[in-house]
Amino acid sequence: MSHIKPINQVAVIGTGVIGASWAALFLAKGLDVVATDVAPNAEASLRRFVEAAWPALERLGLTPGASPLRLVFTPDLAEAVKDTDFVQENGPERFEFKQDLYRQLDLMLPPDVIIASSSSGLPMSQIQSGAASHPERCVIGHPFNPPHLMPLVEIVGGTKTSEDTVKQADHFYTTIGKRTVRINKELPGHVANRLQAALAREVYYLVAENVLSARDVDTALTYGPGLRWGIMGNMMLNHLGGGPGGIEHFLQQFAGPMTASWKSLGSPQLTPDVQKRLIDSVHAEVGSRTIEELEAERDELLLGLLELRAKAASLG
């Protein structure tokens, strides 16, 4: 890797749900953040988000010098990126918009400033076509929502992204506590969303076919494999599932039955009738709880798991 460039100031372009969450995390890691968005009331919404997220970030541990006061907002793109060391772009998932944005950024920024996109839907090979002079510094840095809590970042280069850019981005995200995965091929949805989609397809099929309710399928996941997935991934759990023989024995024992079971997996069509069945079943599970109450429950349990994982890592 070439010389690692220090990152002290980050420009956050787009301050919707993802951009605001990124901004809160960067602030918690002791960085200066200059955010920009042309939406009405964007600054007020961003500052409210950071204020609401700060107690959770304090609980997870702030970097010395971290402060919400290090947040600057400007609606002017050129002003936002004037002195930045790194750009985290969170604009709309529209190719024409991103191509024009990257054209502007390519002209405004020194060639060594990385432009990382949070995009989950557009490949970097298309996005970076707007950056005619320096497409090599453009890369996908796709977070898992919400970025200020969820550690995962998927790093995907486009056809013109340099290996040094990938390594520099990986180093930056890792130094602020993220867990990165390098994706070697561009695929729609990258990887984590594809894994979610595969599971969601079977969940919707089971509920739509009245095999079980939304409540029971969620219970089956969260008190079954979901508990284990919060500790180890599928491949490591398969290795343990093979007993003393490990993954070799697991595949010898289960490859046949497992591949046979794939043939019975569902491919539901989300027709209006199927969607109504899913919606009715979810509302039966939700009961009188509000979205805000459910979000608080989710975040409290997530913080507990993150704290437990951090404790285990410190002991290891």
pLDDT classification of 132: cutoffs 50, 70, 90: very high
Distance CA 122, CA 125 (A): 9
Q: Are 32 and 101 in contact (CB under 8 A)?
A: no
pLDDT, position 315: 84
Sign of the C-alpha dihedral computed for residues 239, 243, 244 and 245 taken in this order: negative
pTM above 0.95, yes or no: no
214: pLDDT strictly greater than 60: yes
Q: Are 73 and 35 in contact (CB under 8 A)?
A: yes
The per-residue pLDDT of the chain, averaged, comes to 96
Mean pLDDT (whole number) for 248-254: 96
Q: pLDDT tens, 86-117? A: 999 999 999 999 999 999 999 999 999 999 99
Sign of the C-alpha dihedral computed for residues 128, 31, 24 and 29 taken in this order: positive
Give percent above pLDDT 90 in the chain.
95
66: pLDDT strictly greater than 70: yes
pLDDT, position 68: 98
pLDDT, position 314: 83
Q: pLDDT tens, 229-244? A: 999 999 999 999 999 9
Q: pLDDT tens, 138-188? A: 999 999 999 999 999 999 999 999 999 999 999 999 999 999 999 999 999
Mean pLDDT (whole number) for 280-308: 95
Domains and CATH numbers, the chain: 9-183 (3.40.50.720), 192-231+269-315 (no CATH)
Q: pLDDT tens, 23-58? A: 999 999 999 999 999 999 999 999 999 999 999 999
Sign of the C-alpha dihedral computed for residues 246, 252, 258 and 263 taken in this order: positive
Q: pLDDT tens, 274-292? A: 999 999 999 999 999 999 9
2: pLDDT strictly greater than 70: no
**CA neighbours within 13 Å on the CB side: how many for 57?**
27
pLDDT classification of 3: cutoffs 50, 70, 90: confident
